[in-house]
Amino acid sequence: MIKRILAGGVALAVLGLGGFGLYAWHPAFDPITPPMADSFAPEQIEQGRVLAAAGYCATCHTAAGGAPFAGNYPMKTDFGTIYSTNITPDAETGIGNWSEAAFERAMREGVDRSGAHLLPAFPFDHFTKMSDADIAALYAYIMTSVEPVKAEHKANELPFPLNQRILQAGWKMLFFKSGRFEPVADKSEAWNRGAYLVEGVTHCGACHTPRNALGAEKTDQPYAGAAIDDWIAPPLTAANPSGVPWSAAEFYQYLKTGTTIYHGSAAGPMAPVVHAGLKELPDSDLAAIGTYLGDIVGAGGADPAANPAVAQSLAAGVPQADYRKDEGERLYATACAACHYNSQQITEGRPDLGINSATRLADPTNLIHVMLNGISADQGMAGVVMPGFGTALNDQQIAAIAAYLRASRTPEAPWADLETKVATIRALGAMAH
């Protein structure tokens, strides 16, 4: 899940604006006794469970090795570390004494029970779009089905004045628009359902939309692609560089299974989105997300098999381990081609590297991550593994394979500084272990 995000709230200038105090101030809600499990219908609780998965609440609110939803998952920002809060129904350290109104205000306005502003590392800018029924269902689920856990929130490591929550009011004034999702009249029901899910609970834009210097999504460039957690979240628009354009059917397949024959695998931060988040949604919802995003890409439903990029990549053929050839080709032939063989057809579960966004993005980061660390069984296609080559190949060798694939399989310009990038990404892996 998102670990690195810019902290907003440096918007000191707006403090001078008239009416700011009024805008910034919110009353506290009185504490309540945690509601009884039988105050909610079972169907409502079940709906909340599905939505909690689709909103990745547990992914962000669970520390490594910690109890689910008990918080203290660290999110690094350029200014310091923010720890997610305990949202179990523990009355003392969690949200057990929050009324439904207090919970709804947090989701819609980014304000906690005491009236303090919450940081936008919590994606309330998306959750604000959810329906009343869906927010009520989330509340019902958390209050009745999440185990209450006593866990004190670690203090955020933000320097003064960024640790002053009142400043968040300035950030919100500049960048935050609260309000429920509004359906678009001339679009289909499926399109509107997809838009509701993408813009709201599943908050795809939190990773796929670029952010400004204060950490707010650039609303004029929706889904245009962004760097996130030291990966690249590719554009989900016509600017996506994959050889085969993303259609509604391809989106559906990828989000349902973590892989498609023409677009490869969901790895890195995208893996939990698919395998922990979206997997609880009914097929009709995944299809609706496909309808919405397919329309944004606008490619229509042309047969991918007839796509010239596919023919071109296949024509690159099986490389020979011939020592007179380029080093990248030689290494590719020995380390990769056994599985990524570029024979006569595109193979299920073995991404064709000529049409994949990993080889076509302007930034080689995703390709390098996969080469160094592989794809584990819980990422990409469920149960299928690609081995990592971080120990077998050095930086220069990984860079040579990347350069070879880029030159032989894609029409894109060569990548600069490949070896340095490999070293940087390798160092990130070493830090994480």
- The percent of the chain in helix, strand and coil, each rounded to the nearest 5, is 40, 5, 50
Q: Which is nearer to ligand HEC, 19 or 68 (CB)?
A: 68
Nearest distance, CB of residue 298 and ligand HEC, angstroms: 15
User: Does residue 240 belong to the site contacting ligand HEC (CB under 6 A)?
Assistant: yes
CA distances from 88 to 133, 150, 156, 212, 273 (A): 20, 8, 19, 32, 21
Q: Which of residues 39-58 bind ligand HEC (CB under 6 A)?
A: 52, 55-57
* Structure tokens that stand for 416 in this block: 């600069």
Q: Which is nearer to ligand HEC, 140 or 278 (CB)?
A: 278
Calpha distance 179→128 (Å, rounded): 6
Nearest distance, CB of residue 85 and ligand HEC, angstroms: 4
x/- contact string, 359-378, with ligand HEC (CB under 6 A)? -------xx--xx---x---
Nearest distance, CB of residue 18 and ligand HEC, angstroms: 26
Calpha distance 82→214 (Å, rounded): 15
Q: Which is nearer to ligand HEC, 82 or 346 (CB)?
A: 82
Q: Which is nearer to ligand HEC, 41 or 239 (CB)?
A: 239
x/- contact string, 95-114, with ligand HEC (CB under 6 A)? x-------x--x-----x--
* Structure tokens that stand for 86 in this block: 């305990």
State CA 44 to chain mean position distance: 26
Q: Which is nearer to ligand HEC, 18 or 225 (CB)?
A: 225
Calpha distance 20→125 (Å, rounded): 20
Neighbours of 179 (CB within 10 A): 8
Q: Which of residues 279-318 bind ligand HEC (CB under 6 A)?
A: 289, 293
- Which of 323, 354, 309, 324 lies closest to 336 in space, CA to CA? 354
Q: Which of 263, 406, 409, 421 binds ligand HEC (CB under 6 A)?
A: 263
- Which of 250, 266, 269 lies closest to 203 in space, CA to CA? 269
Q: Which is nearer to ligand HEC, 81 or 312 (CB)?
A: 81
Nearest distance, CB of residue 84 and ligand HEC, angstroms: 4
Q: Which of residues 316-335 bind ligand HEC (CB under 6 A)?
A: 335
Q: Which of 149, 336, 400, 425 binds ligand HEC (CB under 6 A)?
A: 336
Calpha distance 224→235 (Å, rounded): 4
| Among the residue ranges 170-178, 187-195, 255-263, 424-432, the one whose residues contact ligand HEC (CB under 6 A) | 255-263
Calpha distance 1→95 (Å, rounded): 22
Q: Which of residues 119-148 bind ligand HEC (CB under 6 A)?
A: 119, 121-123, 138
